[in-house]
Amino acid sequence: MTVDARDKVTRCVVVHWPDWSVVAAGALPGQAVAVLHANRVVAATPSARADGVVPGLRRREAQRLCPGVVLLSHDPERDARMFDPVLRALEQTTPLLEVGSPGHCTFATRGPSRYYGGDDALVDRVVDHVRSALGPEYLSIAGSPSVGLADGSFAAGLAASHAAGLANGTFIAGRASADRALLPPVPRSRSSGIVVPPGQSSAFLAAFPTSVLADQDGIDARILSLFPQFGVRTLGQIAALPRSDLAARFGPAGLVVHRLASGLEARPPLARRPPPDMSVSCPFETPVPTTGLVAFAAKQLADEMFERLRARGLACSQILVTAQTDHGEQHERLWRHEPAFQPVTVAERVRWQLDGWAASGTNAPTAGITLLRIAPTEVFPATGQQIGFWGGQSNADDRALRGIARLVGQLGAEAVHVPEWRGGRNPSQTIALVPAASTDLIDRDVGIPAASGSAASSFPGGPWPGVLPPPSPATLWKEPMPIQVQDEVGDAVRVTGRGFVSAPPVTVLKGGCAPFRVVAWGGPWPLEEHWWDPQRYRRCARFHLLLDDGSAHLAVIEQGAWRLEATYD
Amino acid sequence: MCSLGLVAMAVVVALAEPTVQRGDAALLARAVQLSRPVTLAGDHVLPTHPIFAPLFPWGGLQRGTVVAGSGLAARSLLLALAAGPVAAGAWVAVLGVPSLGLLTASELGLPLARLVSVDVDAAHGAAALGAAVDAFDAIILGPAFLRGSEARRIQARARERGTVLLAAGDPGMLEVDTSLTVTSVQWHGLHDGHGRLRARQVSISATGRRAAARVRRLALWLPDNDGRLSLVEDAVVPLRATS
């Protein structure tokens, strides 16, 4: 095979934590913790993984496999915030970092490696910097980073996750045990880093199973499932196939598979750099002190940049964000997002970068921002988007998305939420609100089981024995309202341990108002939850109360105290 | 479509007319008038559940209007009204009503995938509502947080953008176009110590300004025993306009 300019690869370091989301949430490796997004597990601690909790599982499946698992909701802002000290530490080593997602970053080794005296020394230095940045108490949570150094970001990334697998005794988490027999020889392993010698990337990759390609963008899982059927089990076997045959059989995806398997980048580097007029900048007349306002401007800048890119039929997967202050301080960072950036994701990265800069202690800016520049550093031809004939993104969707971005810019990401189904026995638990800024809003699956979405069913779907059937209350009191419920002679109504009511409720006293008479009532419906967990253990009884003013309520008695939980209005 | 046909007809008529040689001004003016784009009244109305048609002179929620709900089942009523447009592809924002039970919305047929909930306080209320009016087709508003001048400005913008404001609770300084009052609520299924809240019968009276000034009444199950909306069969509903 001839080596041309298209096959040149950059030698780079990948610093990687598997399951950064649980690390950012502060979970110790020994605890069983999983992070959920849209009712699906996205990350889990080694202890939870040992019980079979892997990404993609539903909440209930995870709880069934590992009853003690602590479930947290996914918060990309938190992930980015916690990752920032690591980025600051790495910036001591290299001027320009490329951040993919929180928990994963890359930089080119050419300069730093020569400066520190070789690849091994560089990996040492990176690990030391990161360990000192994390501090001892946080290091016990995060553990050492896994570092991979190789030609090409795919090989380096694989080396890093392989290093992580060696460190905690599992080969690349979640893979079938049959893969373990194919473990490649480790070229040169350090405490928590693997260095692949120059020019050896394809040899390093050769022994990996084809399944490691599954997480790469642009590769269809259906294609990967075909390789074992052809008897092709390792990346080396793929690389040995003629490139043209793969392209003929699988189209562009086949080319990507071949390029990655032979240690190249997924896309050949563009022959020419993106023209300079693609970058957009926004000087502020008066220095802007708050991140929110700059992020709002970033959204408009991003819109402008995408307008220019679109005019040339380009999409962009890597951007360089530069911010300058009134005192001449400058902060720049590369961001990568696969398959391509959207204006909203650009604005989000700008906010992450500026928040991180503001929190960086001695290096923090001392004045307001005066200039923001966004430059696309890696562009490729946009393959376009086929708009569906039925459904798909409509004009109303576009308008709403713009409005949501504007509201997020005005009020902050924590004020704008979209509902998501969680399931539960109380109306207040069933639907949770998640930040709209970090959710993909188009054709979103809220996750409501079909049975409860349709008005015709009498019980919400899903295994929630003890849930109150519809209709549900339209008002859920955020702060439960304490009430007093009395029987005929004025004694407080109680519920016995066997679930019997001491006397029929007759009057209800709500803070300061004249007493209400109970017209009709139903219950008690006892509820005992989390009996395995002393902290969350909860035992209560629920009642329907219809009062003489016509209002209907869901009342709860817990440890002898009554409160209104919800109102049917 | 219709206007296109008329244009064609006008042109055919104009050409067929032997007396029209070079520019009969009156006829051309007529052709121009016929070919002017027509906005049908139906385009100004967001589709609601057909059961609510008797409450509105236009048969549904007219775009750009303010609808206020009051009474014991007002929240469920507003959610049921918003369910129609959202099911048809519109987006709805909930502004300043953090206690709204969204499971109820889903049970009333409102797809939660196109609902956004915004926590907002009095200081940012007007700005947030201004942004929301540009973006959403319907907005469910909490109790009043607008001053007089802001309310007028935002209402003018809503009218221009065709956004329906559904005020749950006190509409404050907003000028209400249609006011829906739940006059009576009767629960079924709950007895003295047994049963549960199962079905609710509500009587609604609607009044408003201009075309909606006449009081309209409607009695319906919100919801009935099967969880659906349905008319109360034996209700005595005076002065009800049938369409």
Q: How far is B182 from chain A (nearest CA, A)?
A: 10
Residues of A in contact with B135 (CB under 8 A): 399-400, 402-404, 406-407
Instruction: Please give the pLDDT value at position B181.
Output: 92
CA R_g for chain A: 28
Residue B166 pLDDT > 90, yes or no?
yes
Instruction: Please give the pLDDT value at position A388.
Output: 46
Is B88 in the A-facing interface, judged by CB distances under 8 Å?
A: no
Mean pLDDT, range A133-148, rounded to an integer: 77
Mean pLDDT, range A294-303, rounded to an integer: 84
Q: Would you call B103 and A411 a contact, using CB atoms and an 8 Å cutoff?
A: no
Q: A134 vs B167, which has greater pLDDT?
A: B167
Cβ B189 vs Cβ B79: under 8 Å: no
Q: Would you call B196 and A522 a contact, using CB atoms and an 8 Å cutoff?
A: yes
Q: Out of B113, B119, B192, name the one closest to residue A415 (CB).
A: B119
For chain B positions 9-48, those within 8 Å of chain A (CB to CB) are none
Residues of B in contact with A438 (CB under 8 A): none
Q: Would you call B195 and A522 a contact, using CB atoms and an 8 Å cutoff?
A: yes
Helix runs in A210-342, H state only? 221-229, 235-240, 243-250, 252-261, 291-311
Mean pLDDT, range A30-47, rounded to an integer: 84
A339 cis-preceded (ω within 30 degrees of 0): yes
Cβ A11 vs Cβ A123: under 8 Å: no
Q: How far is A373 from chain B (nearest CA, A)?
A: 26
Closest CA to B73 of B156, B209, B182: B182
On average, the pLDDT of chain A sits at: 80
In tens, the pLDDT along A274-286 reads 666 778 888 888 8
Q: A513 vs A158, which has greater pLDDT?
A: A158
CA R_g for chain B: 23
Instruction: Please give the pLDDT value at position B1.
Output: 42
Pairs across A and B, CB distance < 8 A: 177
Best residue in A431, A454, A479, A488 to probe B by mutation, most B CBs within 10 Å? Answer: A431
Q: Out of B76, B131, B196, name the one closest to residue A474 (CB).
A: B76
In tens, the pLDDT along A318-364 reads 888 888 888 888 888 888 887 778 887 888 888 888 888 888 777 78
State the distance between the two ends of chain B, measured CA to CA, in whole angstroms.
Answer: 25
Cβ A85 vs Cβ A92: under 8 Å: no
Cβ A149 vs Cβ A197: under 8 Å: no
Mean pLDDT, range A403-416, rounded to an integer: 84
Band of pLDDT at residue B94, cut at 50, 70 and 90: very high
Instruction: Please give the pLDDT value at position A348.
Output: 82
Q: Would you call A522 and B193 a contact, using CB atoms and an 8 Å cutoff?
A: yes
Instruction: Please give the pLDDT value at position A452.
Output: 43
Band of pLDDT at residue A183, cut at 50, 70 and 90: very low
Q: How far is B50 from chain A (nearest CA, A)?
A: 16
At B162, give phi and psi (nearest 5°).
75, 35
- Within 10 angstroms of residue A294's Cβ, the number of other Cβ atoms is 23
Q: Out of B89, B112, B118, name the one closest to residue A415 (CB).
A: B118
Band of pLDDT at residue B68, cut at 50, 70 and 90: very high
Instruction: Please give the pLDDT value at position A178.
Output: 38
Q: A205 vs B7, which has greater pLDDT?
A: A205
In tens, the pLDDT along B114-138 reads 999 998 887 788 888 988 998 899 9
Residues of A in contact with B204 (CB under 8 A): none
Structure-token pair, residue A351:
């906010």
Band of pLDDT at residue A177, cut at 50, 70 and 90: very low
Q: Would you call A410 and B131 a contact, using CB atoms and an 8 Å cutoff?
A: yes
CA distance A515 to A487: 12
Best residue in B72, B75, B106 to probe A by mutation, most A CBs within 10 Å? Answer: B106
Q: Would you call A474 and B185 a contact, using CB atoms and an 8 Å cutoff?
A: no
**Nearest chain B Cα to A426, which residue?**
B103
Residue B2 pLDDT > 60, yes or no?
no
CA dihedral B5, B7, B8, B9 (to 10 degrees): 90
For chain B positions 119-158, those within 8 Å of chain A (CB to CB) are 119-120, 124, 127-128, 131-132, 134-137
Instruction: Please give the pLDDT value at position B205.
Output: 92
Q: Would you call A403 and B109 a contact, using CB atoms and an 8 Å cutoff?
A: no
**Nearest chain B Cα to A427, which residue?**
B103
Q: Out of B89, B187, B192, name the one closest to residue A396 (CB).
A: B89
Band of pLDDT at residue A176, cut at 50, 70 and 90: very low
Instruction: Please give the pLDDT value at position A545.
Output: 93
Instruction: Please give the pLDDT value at position B22.
Output: 57
Q: Out of A410, A458, A473, name the one closest to residue B104 (CB).
A: A473
Q: Would you call A419 and B114 a contact, using CB atoms and an 8 Å cutoff?
A: no
CA distance B120 to A503: 43
Instruction: Please give the pLDDT value at position A267.
Output: 73
Cβ B92 vs Cβ B81: under 8 Å: no
Q: Would you call B116 and A550 a contact, using CB atoms and an 8 Å cutoff?
A: no
ipTM: 0.79
- Within 10 angstroms of residue B16's Cβ, the number of other Cβ atoms is 8
Distance of CA A501 to the CA centre of its chain: 47
In this structure, what DSSP letter does residue A234 have? Answer: B
CA distance A187 to A207: 12
CA distance A471 to A458: 9
Q: Which amino acid is at A200?
A: Q
CA distance A212 to A180: 12
In tens, the pLDDT along A537-550 reads 888 999 999 999 88
Only one residue has tokens 């409720």, namely A505
Is B82 in the A-facing interface, judged by CB distances under 8 Å?
A: no
In tens, the pLDDT along B223-240 reads 888 888 888 876 555 554
The strand pair at B115-118 and A416-421 is best described as antiparallel
The DSSP-derived string for B118-184 is E---TTTHHHHHHHHHHH-SEEEE-S----HHHHHHHHHHHHHHTPEEEEES--TTS--SEEEEEEE
In tens, the pLDDT along A69-88 reads 888 888 887 888 888 888 88
Residue A287 pLDDT > 80, yes or no?
yes
Instruction: Please give the pLDDT value at position A4.
Output: 56
Q: Would you call A569 and B134 a contact, using CB atoms and an 8 Å cutoff?
A: no
Residues of A in contact with B74 (CB under 8 A): 569
Mean pLDDT, range A118-122, rounded to an integer: 87
Handedness of CA A388, A392, A394, A398 (dihedral sign): negative
In tens, the pLDDT along A451-496 reads 444 433 444 445 677 888 888 999 998 888 899 899 888 899 999 8
- Is residue A173 classed exposed, middle or buried when 0-12, 13-18 and 19+ CB atoms within 10 A define those classes? middle
Q: A208 vs A180, which has greater pLDDT?
A: A208
Mean pLDDT, range A373-390, rounded to an integer: 68
Residue B37 pLDDT > 70, yes or no?
no
